[in-house]
A and B are shown apart, each in its own frame.
Chain A
Amino acid sequence: MIQNSPALVPLLLLATAIAIPVLAIKKTGVAYLVAVAAAIGSVAISAYNMFRVWKGGPLTYHFGGWMPPIGIEYVLDSLSAFVALVVNVVAFIVLCHAGGLKGSDISGKSVPYYSLVLLFLCGANGIVMTGDLFNLYVFLEIFSLAGYGLIGIGEKQAPVASFRYLIMGTVGASFYLLGIGFLYIVTGSLNMADVRDILPHIHGNPAVAAALSLIVIGVGIKMAIFPLQGWLPDAYTYAPSTSSALVAPIGTKIAAYVLIRIMFFVFGVKFVSQSLPITDLIAWLSAIGIIYGSVMAIAQNEMKRMLAYSSIAQIGYIGLGIGLANPLGYIGAVLHILNHAFMKGALFLVAANIRKNSGHSDISKLDASYRKKLPWSMAAFTLAALSMIGLPPTAGFFSKWYLALGAIDKGNWVFLAVILISSLLNAVYFFRILEKVYLVPPPAQKAGEDLPAETKNREGSLIGEEKYSLMIPAVVLSFSLLLLGLLNANIVKGIIQRIIPLGM
């Protein structure tokens, strides 16, 4: 059992996802409990995997005992074990929060919903752990289809947004499939390690270049690299609260992981940065995306939409780190996968709390009464916002620090300027909200008017928030940012630096 731990997470999630509709046939409440239990299990197993990798180096697991390159191989090195752990922890915290929401925006659909959540996570874990290019495609489809469902279940514009995402996402997946098709033709293998070993002998073959281009475009759509980000804002905005809080921190990060894995660990650093300098292209597009996303975020008037555009900018940081193709940029990119997952998770949870509390998340309608109603959520928001701006000692500062060092190493001052200017743009759109929440007095209550319903039914909690289950997950995510920031050197040295791609 124990030595099978690499395979356990996707299997557990897959099994529970299928089991939910059966188990919850009488009592729909069971669905949620099963989902949380599965999430706890996957956190535990992936933590154990991380520990094993940290202690004893990379693990491989051969499905059904078939040896690679014939059989499907799972590979857990410190990169994949790390990303899997991050995904599962964030998903678990978001699921805890979902309990407090009581499915207010997914009423009557909670059974299929939680089943989809687990499928989504199953796909994510599978993508991260697999060492097989085609298996990755299978999980990518599981992941994406579940994602379309999670988004489409939302408010009335959601199906359209989800359909658009579906079209774009399917195009992306097809590109990816075409890409590995080309690779398979020229290498005769689908195992990543095997392909990596064969590729140096056939670098001159144009099919390899075509494969790389197709894969990068395909994954780029999923990752929402500028200018392939069109599907993202609507999808994040109209999705139910829990879905946005799941898809935003996890969805695009998984694609970023795939990009890192395939570009640096299959094609090799030298090929992607010199023979076919696709990393430069990614870096420049990401830099444009950072500025575009930040400027568009300033223009938004709806909090979730603003956060969605901010995600485009933050994905840009990861893309930029990948595109720099040097160790510091790589560290920045991988660290930002972690940091951004926590920051965006916290911010979307607070947006969910605001929606739950007042039925909207319009920035223009925010005022100081929200701080009184949601003091801890707002504290969490503030801290996460400071981290997004990149102020030390929060985690967000350190992603930028490594990226800045990487940009200087590369000698590219434009990238350095972009990283720093985007900090200031972030400050503009976050302080706009903070100013309102802390400083704009609420419109005076008319005499004789009843208190708003939600203030009346407060469940008598100690610290003034409606529900602990809504407040604690947001607070945990955002206060972890301080810890992640102060201890980032341990993560960098103990995990990320262990597996710097060869040739950087």
Chain B
Amino acid sequence: MTYPEIYRSIIPFYAVMVSLIAALLIMLSSRHANLREFWTLAASIVKFSLVFLLLPGALAGRIAEYTFWEISPGIALALKADQFGIFFALIASGLWILTSIYSIGYVRGLKEHKQTRYFASFAVCLSATIGIAFAANLLTFVLFYEILTIATYPLVIHKETKIAVSAGRKYLVYTLTAGVLLIAATAWTYRIAGTLDFRAGGLFGDASFSPAAITVLFLLFLGGVGVKAAVMPLHSWLPAAMAAPTPVSALLHAVAVVKSGVFGVVRVVGFVFGPTLMRQFDLNIFLATVAGATIILASLLAFRQDNLKFRLAYSTVGHLSYIVLGAALLSPASLVGGLLHIANHATMKITLFFCAGAIYVRHHKEKISELDGIGRAMPWTMGAFTVAAIGLAGIPPVNGFISKWQLGLGSLQAGEMLPLAVLVLSGLLNAGYFAPIISRAFFKTPTVPYEHGEASYAMVIPLLVTALLSILLGLYPDLFFHFYRLAVEVSGGILGGIGR
């Protein structure tokens, strides 16, 4: 593997800014709904194109970097579109296009209030997400991470009901506390290492630590990024945040926000501490234990939820820890599997949330026990649901299988049997909590017959696209976006410690 070549480019900056500017335009055109939605769509397409433009270079080992200025003496506000950043940015910005289309169908279908605030906050969230993906150092990361926290808040409390407001409070308590821990960890890291630039293989160099200090530092980091990654016991804001409108749950609470958390975990494990330190102080074992426990517990808790979105939320908690587990195992295949699961879980879970939203808009059903026979009324929607559910259980040919396969392989490479057992068990549990939904939907007769009907095209088409994407990525993981190649490169970088 060769050292990547760094070149200066303003594209990462544009990719971050485009939705921030769109947010302003959205606010200015609050009285013209169509124009406002045009800005959202235009920004999402431009954003995705910009990220996609950076992909060929990254695959060829050329990395775009953009430095603004110093924001603290010695620390610059800097963006760097490395392979890992592009990987995450592609997923987030690509799915934003679909979510935008879906959102328009959703909020118009429900005649939601304060749509301007909704779309503007959404755009700011995406800016922050891309900023997190491209952050070249920890301080830039913290900056965008906190912006994401605040920008998500108006979306969580969007409905302005008592439940939404208390969910908002819970969300803030968890995420602001996490932010504070992350700031402490960042400051401490800076004092120890003298730098905050992410480096594949770890940024500490040969700084020396006492075991107690490094454990505390790692726990601070884990508290900081673990809340958004919903690692147990820091997860309980996520089910509460399901009070938000469904497109928010779909993109933010299955993709952008929570994946920023796991993205952060991987950054911390692979680019701050690095495999050597992780192994030397047994931090990887600790992390793997937490992740494994989360996977099993979350899957068990998912069984108890009758509210469809809540069940999906607990399922998300479990699947996020797959990624954390992949990072913790620190073997080539486990990292590839973990990274791929960022993409794969995204397409599958967003499909499921899209389906839940479509059911809610069309038939106003939220509970699983009310879904008897809905598959006959909404065949396309429930078909997509089935595909994604199969994928999450890890059954081929859907993409969930690929990441699980790699993770299993990775745990064998690491010489551990227990993670493999956890994965197998979790697959069964996943099948267990999704099967009743599917069987109710297709095989039970509804008590009150449904009037036949899917939701609007704006909602059905995105969910079919994501379901199709899940299958395609399952058959050919390197399709279009080269997720597989990117994942292999990132994994090689972290374990090889190539220094960039």
Contacts and interface: CB of A to CB of B under 8 A. Distances in A.
A404 B157 contact: no
A260 B165 CA distance: 44
Given A393-B71, A439-B157, A489-B69, A408 B187 contact: yes
Interface centre among A392, A427, A497 (most CB of B within 10 A): A392
Interface string B69-109: 11111000100000000000000000000000000000000
Contact of A420 (B70, B143, B184): B184
Contact of B183 (A400, A486, A487): A400
Interface centre among B160, B184, B190 (most CB of A within 10 A): B184
Contacts of A485: 71
Contact of B72 (A386, A398, A427, A431): A398
A78 to B, nearest CB: 15
Interface string B300-326: 000000000000000000000000000
A424 B177 contact: yes
A77 to B, nearest CB: 19
- Name the prevailing secondary structure of the A interface residues: helix
A427 B191 contact: no
A489 B70 CA distance: 6
5 contacts: A391-B149, A392-B147, A423-B180, A486-B77, A492-B73
Contact count band on A: 20 to 34
Interface in B134-174: 142-143, 146-147, 149-150, 157, 160, 165, 168-169, 172
A193 B388 CA distance: 76
Contacts of B183: 400-401, 404, 420
Give 5 nearest A-B pairs by CB, closest first: A489-B70, A392-B143, A404-B187, A420-B180, A408-B191
A391 B179 contact: yes
Interface in A458-504: 485-490, 492-493, 497
Contact of B187 (A392, A401, A435): A401
B188 A489 contact: no
Contacts, number: 72
A427 B188 CA distance: 23
Nearest to B216: A413
Interface string B173-205: 000110111011001101100000000000000
A439 B154 CA distance: 10
A431 B146 contact: no
Given A489-B70, A489-B72, 18 more contacts: A391-B146, A391-B179, A392-B147, A393-B71, A397-B146, A398-B72, A401-B72, A401-B183, A405-B187, A408-B187, A420-B180, A420-B183, A420-B184, A435-B169, A488-B71, A489-B69, A492-B73, A497-B73
Contacts of B169: 431, 435
A23 to B, nearest CB: 45
Nearest to A422: B180
A391 B150 contact: yes
B157 A423 contact: no
Interface residues of B, number: 29
Interface string B390-406: 00000000000000000
A424 B187 contact: no
Interface centre among A386, A401, A492 (most CB of B within 10 A): A401
A493 B73 contact: yes
A391 B151 CA distance: 12
Contacts of B168: 435
A389 B146 CA distance: 11
B69 to A, nearest CB: 7
A427 B169 CA distance: 10
Contacts of B147: 391-393
Contacts of A454: none
Contacts of B179: 391
B71 A416 contact: no
Contact of B143 (A393, A487, A489, A497): A393
A486 B181 CA distance: 22
Nearest to A382: B150
Nearest to A403: B187
A392 B142 contact: yes
Contacts of A197: none
Nearest to A421: B180
Contact of B165 (A386, A397, A423, A435): A435
Nearest to A416: B184
B73 A424 contact: no
B71 A389 contact: no
Contacts of A493: 70, 73
A409 interface: yes
Contacts of B190: 405
A363 to B, nearest CB: 16
Nearest to A431: B172
A492 B72 contact: yes
Contacts of B181: 420
Nearest to B77: A486
A439 B114 CA distance: 12
A389 B184 contact: no
A416 B180 CA distance: 10
A177 to B, nearest CB: 39
A435 B142 CA distance: 25
A405 B71 CA distance: 14
A386 B154 CA distance: 14
A474 to B, nearest CB: 19
Contacts of A389: 176
Contacts of B187: 401, 404-405, 408, 416
Interface in A360-402: 386, 389, 391-393, 397-398, 400-402
